[in-house]
Structure 1
Amino acid sequence: MSGVRRFLSENSLSLGFGLLFVVTLAGQAVAGAAQLSEERQDEGLGPVSLGHYLTSSSFAVDVMENWQSEYLQFSLYVFATVWLVQRGSPASKELEAVGTESDEEQRVGAHARADSPRWAGAGGWRTAVFSRSLGLVFGALFLLTWAATSVAGWAAYNVDQLRSHADPVSWVGYLGRPDFWDRTFQNWQSEMLAVGSMAVFAVYLRQRGSPESKPVGAAHPDTGATG
């Protein structure tokens, strides 16, 4: 197998989803520009170009509010599954493994192996940070995208305010408006439902060959097993 083919094969999951992300984001941009043009024509205004729409607050808030909800899902999932378990779910640790586990189980400090990441065996603050790096990065991305959502939503809200000849509001004032929290909770509740559904459905249902599922023949009470 050539080097390029090997690289594509070994990274097909990230490359596949990266390509799907670009395609779907482009589709959202084209569809969103068309929808905004229709709305403007109904108001007696001219259509907007794709380039203008891509730099608009409408596009920014739609993208950011979805990104922040996804990063919320993963950051909560990473942190919650340290302490919360679900009997029979492959998305859960085994019932007796609740908590951060021992250094030996986690292969850190003196228990790090030759092929362990350098900071796993470094000790001190480096191991402490590396031990929580996945959750910290997802948590930071959630906070950044939530902040970006608030700014983009504020700009979009003020566009609507000016269009209806109402006074614009400050960013701090927007944070207390129902519009901001309506956008926020719409996304958050859907993520909580999706994560909870996955944890429960995977107890009784199977997807052959998927690491998100237990082996097809695994008993329903088996916890933490993946196929």
Structure 2
Amino acid sequence: MRSALRNHSLGLFFGLLFLLSLVGHALAGWQEFNAVQTAEGFGTLSLGRYLVSSDFAVDVTENWQSEYLQFLLYITATVWFLQRGSPESKELHKAGLESDEDQKVGRHADERSPRWAAVGGFRTTLFSWSLTLTMGTIFLLSWLAQSVAGRVAYNETRLERFQDPVSWTSYLTNADFWSRTLQNWQSEFLAVGSMAVLAIYLRQRGSPESKPVGEAHDATGIEG
């Protein structure tokens, strides 16, 4: 059991942090929502009703979609784009999809390679892009969920002000939707770009996201 926990500790650590932060978000968001409702003279919601409300759904999904967009773009951008000296970049001569031999595809697969990497054809192509396709699908679904929940929450506010609700297509061009979207995107892009550049000159001993402490600043694609 101890060995299994150690071998999967990274995934378990972030899974636990996710659950704790989601619970904290739900409780804090519920209290904030009811405080606003009370101040404006409207009724409050129980925690159960708040968890299935559009207000909670839009807050959650707008964060999820931005995170998965971050990884989607980072995974695909690092195939072709390089950053000299960064451990987040491939080596400078490896830009692109690389050769079948480098990727252990088809006849270059070894005995430990996944079956779909060795069979060739459509299955190997699909497997070759499976991470990007999965991240892209989750991003699009969470962004769609954000737009649907965001429209409901936006229309609830409009109805409280005796204004007509807007359609989903109209909401997609509304400032509320893009304000929610872009405030998350800009922070993700800043964080990823900062990591790629700061890791050229700064170190964290023992981390695979950093170069070894004594590695040269211009060494590229080398992890600790």
Q: Which moved more, 1:203-212 or 1:39-48?
A: 39-48
State how far apart, in whole Å, the 1-side matches of 2:97 and 2:183 are.
32
| Structure 2 residue 188 is matched with structure 1 residue 188 | no
**Which secondary structure does the structure 2 equivalent of 1:185 belong to?**
helix
Which ranges in structure 2 are unaligned for 5 or more consecutive residues?
A: none
Aligned residue in 2 for 1:224: 221
Aligned residue in 2 for 1:141: 138
Aligned residue in 2 for 1:77: 74
| Structure 2 residue 102 is matched with structure 1 residue 101 | no
**Alpha-carbon offset, residue 200 of structure 1:** 0.3
**Alpha-carbon offset, residue 60 of structure 1:** 0.2
Cα-to-partner distance string for 1:150-204 (whole Å, 9 max, x where unaligned): 0010111011111111000111111111111111111111111111101000000
State how far apart, in whole Å, the 1-side matches of 2:110 and 2:103 are.
11
1:7-156 matches, cutoff 5 A: 7-156=4-153
Aligned residue in 2 for 1:210: 207
Q: Structure 1 counterpart of 2:25, which letter?
A: Q
| Structure 2 residue 171 is matched with structure 1 residue 174 | yes
**Alpha-carbon offset, residue 119 of structure 1:** 0.5
Aligned residue in 1 for 2:162: 165
State how far apart, in whole Å, the 2-side matches of 1:77 and 1:175 are.
25
Cα-to-partner distance string for 1:18-69 (whole Å, 9 max, x where unaligned): 1110000000000000001110111123432211110110100000000000
**Alpha-carbon offset, residue 8 of structure 1:** 1.0
Identity rate, percent: 62
Q: TM-score, with normalisation over the residues of structure 1?
A: 0.97
State how far apart, in whole Å, the 2-side matches of 1:164 and 1:209 are.
56
**Which secondary structure does the structure 2 equivalent of 1:159 belong to?**
helix
State how far apart, in whole Å, the 2-side matches of 1:45 and 1:68 are.
31
Q: TM-score, with normalisation over the residues of structure 2?
A: 0.98
State how far apart, in whole Å, the 2-side matches of 1:178 and 1:220 are.
43
Q: Structure 2 counterpart of 1:97, which letter?
A: K
**Alpha-carbon offset, residue 220 of structure 1:** 0.3
State how far apart, in whole Å, the 2-side matches of 1:20 and 1:178 are.
32
